[in-house]
Amino acid sequence: MDVPVIELSGVLKSFGPVDVLKGVDFKAYGGKVTALVGDNGAGKSTLIKGLSGVQPYDAGVVKFDGEVVHIHSPRQAGHLGIEVVYQDLALCENLDIVQNMFLGREEITELTLDEASMELQATKALQSLSVRTVKSVRQKVSSLSGGQRQTVAIARSVLRKAKLVILDEPTAALGVAQTEQVLNLVRRLADSGVAVVIISHNLGDVFKVCDYISVLYLGKMVASVKTSETTQADVVGYITGTKSMDGASA
Amino acid sequence: MSDVKISSGHEGNVRDQVTAYFQRIKNGEMGALPAVGALVVVGALFSILSPFFLTKLNFANLFVQAAELTMLAVALVFVILLGEIDLSAGVTAGVAMAGFFLLLHGGTNWIVALVVAFVIGGAIGALIGFFVARIGVPSFVVTLGLFLGFQGLQLVMLGEGGIFRIDVPEIKSIMNDNLPTWGGWVFLALMLVLSAAVSFWDRARRARHDLSNRPIELLYAKLAVFAILGGTTVYLLNENRSQGFASISGVPIVIPIAVLILFIGTLVLDRTQFGRHLYAVGGNAEAARRAGIKVANIRITAFIICSMLAVVSGLFHVSRLGAVEATAGRQIVLNGVAAAVVGGVSLFGGRGRLVHAAIGAFVIVMIENGLGLLEFPAGVNLVVTGSVLILAATIDALSRKRGNGARS
CB contact under 8 A, A119 and B209: yes
Q: Are A52 and A44 in contact (CB under 8 A)?
A: no
- B289 within domain boundaries: yes
Q: Are B265 and B70 in contact (CB under 8 A)?
A: no
Flag whether residue B273 sits within 8 Å of chain A, measured between CB atoms.
yes
Q: Are A181 and A147 in contact (CB under 8 A)?
A: yes
CA distances from residue A155 to A52, A161, A181, A207, B31 in whole angstroms, order as listed: 18, 10, 13, 23, 29
CB contact under 8 A, B8 and A138: yes
- B51 within domain boundaries: yes
Least CB-CB distance to B287: which of A90, A130, A136?
Answer: A90
Provide, as residue numbers in chain B, all residues whose Cβ is less than 8 Å from the Cβ of A128.
1
Radius of gyration of chain A (CA): 18
Provide, as residue numbers in chain B, all residues whose Cβ is less than 8 Å from the Cβ of A114.
205
Other beta carbons within 10 angstroms of residue B261's beta carbon come to 17
Compute the distance between CA of residue A129 and CA of residue A127 in angstroms, rounded to an integer. 5
Q: Are B61 and B366 in contact (CB under 8 A)?
A: no
Other beta carbons within 10 angstroms of residue A161's beta carbon come to 10
Compute the distance between CA of residue B69 and CA of residue B313 in angstroms, rounded to an integer. 7
Average pLDDT value for chain A = 88
**Three-class SS string for B226-258?**
HHHHHHHHHHHHHCCCCCCCCCCCCCECHHHHH
Provide, as residue numbers in chain A, all residues whose Cβ is less than 8 Å from the Cβ of B264.
none
Provide, as residue numbers in chain A, all residues whose Cβ is less than 8 Å from the Cβ of B4.
126-127, 130-132
Nearest CA in chain A to B268: A112
- Report angle CA B234, B235, B241 to the nearest 5 degrees: 100
Altogether, the residues listed in chain B come to a count of: 408
CA distances from residue B241 to A84, B228, B236, B251, B255 in whole angstroms, order as listed: 65, 21, 9, 11, 17
What pLDDT sits at residue B405?
Answer: 43
Burial of B366 per CB tally in 10 Å (0-12, 13-18, 19+): buried
The letter for the amino acid at A27 is K
Nearest CA in chain A to B351: A94
Sign of the torsion formed by the C-alpha atoms of B327, B332, B334 and B336: negative
Per-residue pLDDT at B403 exceeds 80: no
Provide, as residue numbers in chain B, all residues whose Cβ is less than 8 Å from the Cβ of A105.
291-292
CB contact under 8 A, A119 and B280: no
The Cα of A115 is separated from the nearest Cα of chain B by a number of Å equal to 8
Flag whether residue B6 sits within 8 Å of chain A, measured between CB atoms.
yes
- B200 within domain boundaries: no
CB contact under 8 A, A95 and B9: no
Task: Domain count for chain B, please give it.
Answer: 1
Which H/E stretch holds residue A19?
strand A18-28
- B13 within domain boundaries: no
Provide, as residue numbers in chain B, all residues whose Cβ is less than 8 Å from the Cβ of A91.
284, 287
Q: Are B79 and B140 in contact (CB under 8 A)?
A: no
Other beta carbons within 10 angstroms of residue B17's beta carbon come to 16
What pLDDT sits at residue A241?
Answer: 82
Compute the distance between CA of residue B318 and CA of residue A140 in angstroms, rounded to an integer. 42
Nearest CA in chain B to A90: B287
The Cα of A121 is separated from the nearest Cα of chain B by a number of Å equal to 10
Which structural domain, as residue segments, surrounds residue B94? 31-177+252-403
Residues B73-96 have pLDDT tens digits of: 999 999 999 999 999 999 999 999
Q: Using alpha carbons, select from A174, A180, A3, A197 the residue that is nearest to residue A85.
A: A197
Q: Are B63 and B351 in contact (CB under 8 A)?
A: no
The Cα of A167 is separated from the nearest Cα of chain B by a number of Å equal to 15
Task: Say which residues have a Cβ less than 8 Å from residue B126's Cβ, sequence separation at least 6.
Answer: B300, B303, B304
Flag whether residue B401 sits within 8 Å of chain A, measured between CB atoms.
no
CATH superfamily of A6-94+162-240: P-loop containing nucleotide triphosphate hydrolases (3.40.50.300)
What are residue B367's phi and psi, to 5 degrees? -60, -45
Task: Say which residues have a Cβ less than 8 Å from residue B397's Cβ, sequence separation at least 6.
Answer: none
Residues A112-129 have pLDDT tens digits of: 999 999 999 999 888 888
Compute the distance between CA of residue B261 and CA of residue A160 in angstroms, rounded to an integer. 36
- B212 within domain boundaries: no
What pLDDT sits at residue A144?
Answer: 87
Residues A80-93 have pLDDT tens digits of: 999 888 877 789 99
Q: Using alpha carbons, select from B252, B193, B249 the residue that is nearest to residue B63.
A: B252
pLDDT band at B407 (very low <50, low <70, confident <90, very high): very low
Strand B163-165 to strand A33-38: parallel, antiparallel, or no bridges (unpaired)?
Answer: unpaired
CB contact under 8 A, B4 and A127: yes
Flag whether residue B211 sits within 8 Å of chain A, measured between CB atoms.
yes
Residues B291-305 have pLDDT tens digits of: 889 999 999 999 999
Residues B310-348 have pLDDT tens digits of: 999 999 999 999 999 988 888 899 999 999 999 989 888
ipTM comes to 0.88
Task: Say which residues have a Cβ less than 8 Å from residue B233's Cβ, sequence separation at least 6.
Answer: B251
pLDDT band at B246 (very low <50, low <70, confident <90, very high): confident
What mean pLDDT do residues A156-176 have?
Answer: 87
Nearest CA in chain A to B208: A116
Half-sphere exposure (Cβ direction) of B251: Cα atoms closer than 13 Å:
21
The Cα of A214 is separated from the nearest Cα of chain B by a number of Å equal to 27
- B157 within domain boundaries: yes
Strand A164-168 to strand A112-113: parallel, antiparallel, or no bridges (unpaired)?
Answer: unpaired
What mean pLDDT do residues B276-285 have?
Answer: 95
Flag whether residue B403 sits within 8 Å of chain A, measured between CB atoms.
yes
What are residue B209's phi and psi, to 5 degrees? -100, 15
**Running DSSP on this structure, what letter comes out for residue B109?**
-
Q: Are A57 and A11 in contact (CB under 8 A)?
A: yes
Residues B44-62 have pLDDT tens digits of: 999 999 998 989 899 999 9
> CATH number of the domain that B55 lies in?
1.10.3470
Q: Domain map of chain A by residue range?
A: 6-94+162-240
Which of A100, A115, A135, A151 to mutate to probe the B interface, most B CBs <10 Å? A115
Task: Say which residues have a Cβ less than 8 Å from residue B307's Cβ, sequence separation at least 6.
Answer: B75, B86, B89, B92, B121, B122, B124, B125, B128
The letter for the amino acid at A242 is T
Task: Say which residues have a Cβ less than 8 Å from residue A214's Cβ, sequence separation at least 6.
Answer: A26, A34, A35, A36, A37, A221, A223, A224, A250
Task: Say which residues have a Cβ less than 8 Å from residue B271's Cβ, sequence separation at least 6.
Answer: A112, A113
What pLDDT sits at residue A133?
Answer: 80
- B312 within domain boundaries: yes
Q: Are A240 and A38 in contact (CB under 8 A)?
A: no
Flag whether residue B81 sits within 8 Å of chain A, measured between CB atoms.
no
Compute the distance between CA of residue A215 and CA of residue A227 in angstroms, rounded to an integer. 12
Q: Are B86 and B306 in contact (CB under 8 A)?
A: yes
